[in-house]
Amino acid sequence: MAEYAVILVHTTSHAVYAERVLKHAGLAARLVPTPRHLSSDCGSAVRIPADQRAAAAEALSAAGVEFDRIELL
Amino acid sequence: MNYLDNAATSWPKPDSMAEAMLRYLRDVGASPGRSAHRLSIQAERLRLEAREAVAELVGLRDPLRVVFTHNGTAAINLALFGLLEPGAHVVATGMEHNAVMRPLRALERRGVSISLAACRPDGTMEPAAVAECLRPHTRLVVMNHASNVCGTVLPVRQVGALAHARGIPLLVDAAQTAGCWPIDMHADNIDLLAFTGHKAMLGPTGAGGLVLREDFDISRLPALVHGGTGSRSEHEFQPEFLPDKYEAGTPNAVGLAGLAAGVRYVLERGVDKLRAHEQSLTQRLIDGLRSIRGVHVRGTHDAARQTAVVSFTMDGKSPAEIGLALDEQFEIMCRPGLHCAPRAHLTMGTSPAGTVRLSPGPFTTLADIEQAISAIASLAAAEAHG
């Protein structure tokens, strides 16, 4: 089982906002450079513990934060 | 020194605003949205704080619906040039600033037709005046929230309701109200709100924006400026998602750091409290000026119906002469002339000479107002005896 997952977002604005929302929800979110093998976008993604994926998706949806997808690292 | 030109640019600013800008310049410095290093991310966090503060100020939940431009004029141009195609009809009012009138006149040359809803000489307008202008091909209603000449507040909520009943969106130029008058884009039926940061929002010059209500479909509004956003860099077409769609080019990061602090100051003090202070100063200013023989105050004379903007004329002296005398003899800073709003002055009957405009701000005191009244009384007395 992977230790971490990353939430891929459109742009750094979304990444920073998503991180804020997730931390507010008590999740261990951290901004990281977007892994190249997952996206050709420049910029940042939000890393979370793999077991917090469902909670993260729920928190982002509840706050209306758009994200592309969540991938295991 | 008595600075009564807050309707142009507010001053002084809260110390926290200048400190936030200094902190950005000294400790952050990087571009938000580009690169993924810690300083760039810190800059992005500051930009998000600015979006969050503005969203809170205007009653929006989603901060990414706040897009930044250089000023209110750029935001108005983005909305007008995006929404109005040749053949479209638009309704504005008889109290507009040139930030609205000039883009509309440019669009008129491209085949957009314009109707101006009639306003009274005191700047007030009945919502029915807008209803009378609506046509089957009306695509937008655009109006200022409050006049930059006489402060009169227009009935945006009622106008928004009647526009929405026909499926027409409402764009509001909130240059004179954002930060000093309560705004809730949902309750006030505002779809698009253009703001500028350097007036009542207490930020620096060079940072304004457009707020797009959550239910406004952004596919209806094309980008006006295209370029790098730091996202989707492999594509040569502008991204379609917010906020990048409307934010091409490196942003005014230091200005946004200041804007965040300015708006936060307003939110912490409370718009209602700041408004109460300004309303009481404004009423005293109106009453004091009206008691001077030869001085004519424009607008409604009722501070409850206007922002802290008071325009007057004086028998026998031009606005430019009064402005110079107030500055040179009394160190009072005002703004004489047409205030970039020839349409409003036509409506008020003060064109082409214009008026003298005094605009207190959150840091203006009652003593400042009394000094201004005394100074103007002495100028009027000199004119009467001279």
Q: Convert the pLDDT of each residue in A16-53 to its tens digit.
A: 999 999 999 999 999 988 888 887 665 789 999 999 99
Interchain contact, A10 vs B244, CB within 8 Å: yes
Name which of B34, B63, B241 is nearest A10 (Cβ-Cβ): B241
Question: For position A40, what pLDDT does the model report?
Answer: 62
Chain B nearest-CA distance from A20, in A, is 9
**What is the distance, to the nearest Å, from the Cα of residue B3 to the centroid of all Cα atoms in its chain?**
19
B213 neighbourhood in chain A, CB within 8 Å = none
Interchain contact, A42 vs B214, CB within 8 Å: no
Check whether the bond before B352 is cis (ω within 30° of 0).
yes
Residue with tokens 């091909």: B137
Q: Determine whether B318 is exposed, middle or buried from the number of CB atoms within 10 Å of its CB (0-12, 13-18, 19+).
A: middle
Name which of A11, A34, A66 is nearest B229 (Cβ-Cβ): A11
B244 neighbourhood in chain A, CB within 8 Å = 10-11, 13
Q: Convert the pLDDT of each residue in B184-232 to its tens digit.
A: 999 999 999 999 999 999 999 999 999 999 999 999 999 999 999 888 8
Residue A7 to residue A56: CA distance in whole angstroms = 9
Question: For position A37, what pLDDT does the model report?
Answer: 85
Taking each helix axis as running N to C, give the angle between helix B253-269 and helix B38-57, from 0 to 180 degrees, rounded to the nearest 10: 40
Contacts of B355 (CB under 8 A, 6+ apart): B149, B150, B298, B311, B312, B313, B319, B336, B337, B339, B345, B348
Question: For position B34, what pLDDT does the model report?
Answer: 79
Question: For position A41, what pLDDT does the model report?
Answer: 66
CATH code, domain with A51:
3.30.70
Interchain contact, A31 vs B230, CB within 8 Å: no
Name which of B47, B48, B62 is nearest A64 (Cβ-Cβ): B62
User: What are the residue ranges spanned by the domains of chain B?
Assistant: 2-10+270-385, 15-269
Question: For position B316, what pLDDT does the model report?
Answer: 95
Compute the radius of gyration of chain B from its Cα atoms.
21
Domain B15-269: CATH architecture, name and number where available: 3-Layer(aba) Sandwich (3.40)
A46 neighbourhood in chain B, CB within 8 Å = none
* Global ipTM: 0.84
B257 neighbors B23 (Cβ within 8 angstroms): yes
Residue A21 to residue A26: CA distance in whole angstroms = 9
Chain B nearest-CA distance from A5, in A, is 18
Q: Residue A16: give the domain boundaries.
A: 4-72
The answer to whether residue A31 neighbours chain B at the CB level (below 8 Å) is yes
Residue B274 to residue B256: CA distance in whole angstroms = 22
β-pair type (B138-144, B332-333): unpaired
Which residues of chain B register pLDDT less than 70?
386
β-pair type (B138-144, B170-173): parallel
The answer to whether residue A62 neighbours chain B at the CB level (below 8 Å) is no
Q: Convert the pLDDT of each residue in A1-15 to its tens digit.
A: 789 999 999 888 999
| Alpha helices in chain B, H assignment, sequence order | 15-23, 38-57, 72-83, 98-108, 127-131, 156-164, 253-269, 271-290, 319-330, 342-348, 366-385
Name which of B33, B233, B234 is nearest A13 (Cβ-Cβ): B33
Interchain contact, B64 vs A14, CB within 8 Å: yes
- The number of folded domains in chain A is 1
Q: For chains A and B, what is the number of CB pairs under 8 angstroms? A: 73
Question: For position A42, what pLDDT does the model report?
Answer: 58
Name which of A11, A17, A65 is nearest B230 (Cβ-Cβ): A11
Interchain contact, A11 vs B33, CB within 8 Å: yes
Chain A nearest-CA distance from B53, in A, is 13
Do you know the residue count of chain A? 73
Contact residues, A window 10-29, toward B, CB-based 8 Å cutoff:
10-17, 20
B214 neighbourhood in chain A, CB within 8 Å = 64
Q: Convert the pLDDT of each residue in B284-333 to its tens digit.
A: 999 999 999 999 999 999 999 999 999 999 999 999 999 999 999 999 99
**CATH class, B2-10+270-385 region:** alpha beta
